[in-house]
Structure 1
Amino acid sequence: MIEVINLTKTHGAITAVDQVSFMAPAGSVTGLLGPNGAGKSSVMRIICDLDRADSGTATVCGRRYREHPFPMRVIGAQFEGSGAHPSRRAIDHLRWITRVNRLPGTRITEVLELVDLQPRDWKRRVREYSLGMQQRLGIAVALLGNPDVVIVDEPANGLDPIGMQWLRGLLTGLARDGKTVLMSSHLMSETEIIADRVVLMDRSRVIGEGLVNNLVQVHGSLEQAFFTHLEQSRQMRMRTGAHQ
């Protein structure tokens, strides 16, 4: 489970995350949904201790990321493609990570097959990979420790229609196995298919959240639900600004 409480993060005069709170339960896919620049990646980076919040807390399975003795066995995260050096072979990248994190080497083949990278590609340099293949390699890294919590940032970037179908099956399958899955996306129709629940974000704030089925039942689609909440949020900001 992931629990985020009143997270705030600023970069100088820019507020990247503004009093964000939500919970991502085990056994479900939770989507952080919003346009580019909404603050989704910033929240995820704080959860994974890649960035530090000015205030608020973010815990995974009851602890901060850095408090877990072997974090990759609890939390697996994928940001911006593979994270591998372009000149490194994919299999060597995974070998290095398993050794550093004291993970079993047998897990390497398992995750490469799980993300559907073909054996002929395992020894290719990462610079030879397409964007979609790099996304798959990044997800393989996230799954190396067989973690209870999986965090993926815009995982659909670079994937073709076959890759998108594979991604749906992978993430929903992880949730069925009891894992907590948190994914960010700006693709509303795809998120409607994959996610069980969503946290709607705009301009660094949460503007709404709920079960996808409930939101679709009320608004007709997840896209319409987002824009309804967006309009309500912006009207609220205008009224608040007028009263100050």
Structure 2
Amino acid sequence: MQLSYNGYTHPENEANCGIIRQGLIAEDGFVWGYTERWSITGILHGDTSAELNAAMADLEAAYAVQGGNLTWVKGGTTMHALISLSTLSGTRVVTPPQFTANGDGELTTFRSYTIVVEADVALSGMTYTAADGAFPVSNVDIILLKYEESFDYKGTGGPRFGLLPTLKGTFQRQQLTETSPVEVTQTGMAIGLGKRPLPATPVYPDDEHLERRIIRKPQARKRGGYQIEYPIHWSYTFERNSPFTS
């Protein structure tokens, strides 16, 4: 078995890897991807202190670079791979080479090390190179990380009254109209993975105040330095003379 990272190849059978995957879960409990973590352990060798020191420096230099490809090959066959371009924000060296072992001959002709590399992977196949924030044909075609919407109903359509000022004493209550308009506000937001979701469709299109419609497109939320999560907000106002059916 031979491990490689970003052009650096570990000597054959020098390194071992433990690979785990932890699900990425949206607020509604939907699992839309996973974080894959490679825990790498190995032992560097050198016949002299100078050779061992050079081997340590080469290892540290290789894993000082973020976004490299990880492959684990057996007899010419790739058994495991974590390819940076296939992830949401590139591979991350979250634990650079650590040399924490001591005693038992460490730093004579060998040096033990540990490294951790991880990346986020979307089940939909979305990657940081494909994320552009463009609107999809339909929200069914994208992963929604979050979606929420609410309706505020104002008024019942009943009589309207007013309190009229008087020269002395309390204000006088007086009915102004037999009926009154009813208003509804539809507001919501959604976050799309790599694409900006379409805003929801107005539920009462014939009664909408088009001049009061608000569509807001905040800046994308970044993951690993790349714009990945695209939010959108909407607000529609409707008004009519009779109550709305909810």
Q: Which protein shows a greater Rg?
A: 2
Higher helix share: 1
The interval holding the TM-score normalised by the smaller chain is under 0.3
Higher RCO, Cα 8 Å, sep 6+: 1
Structure having the larger proportion of residues in strand: 2
Normalised by the length of structure 2, the TM-score is 0.21
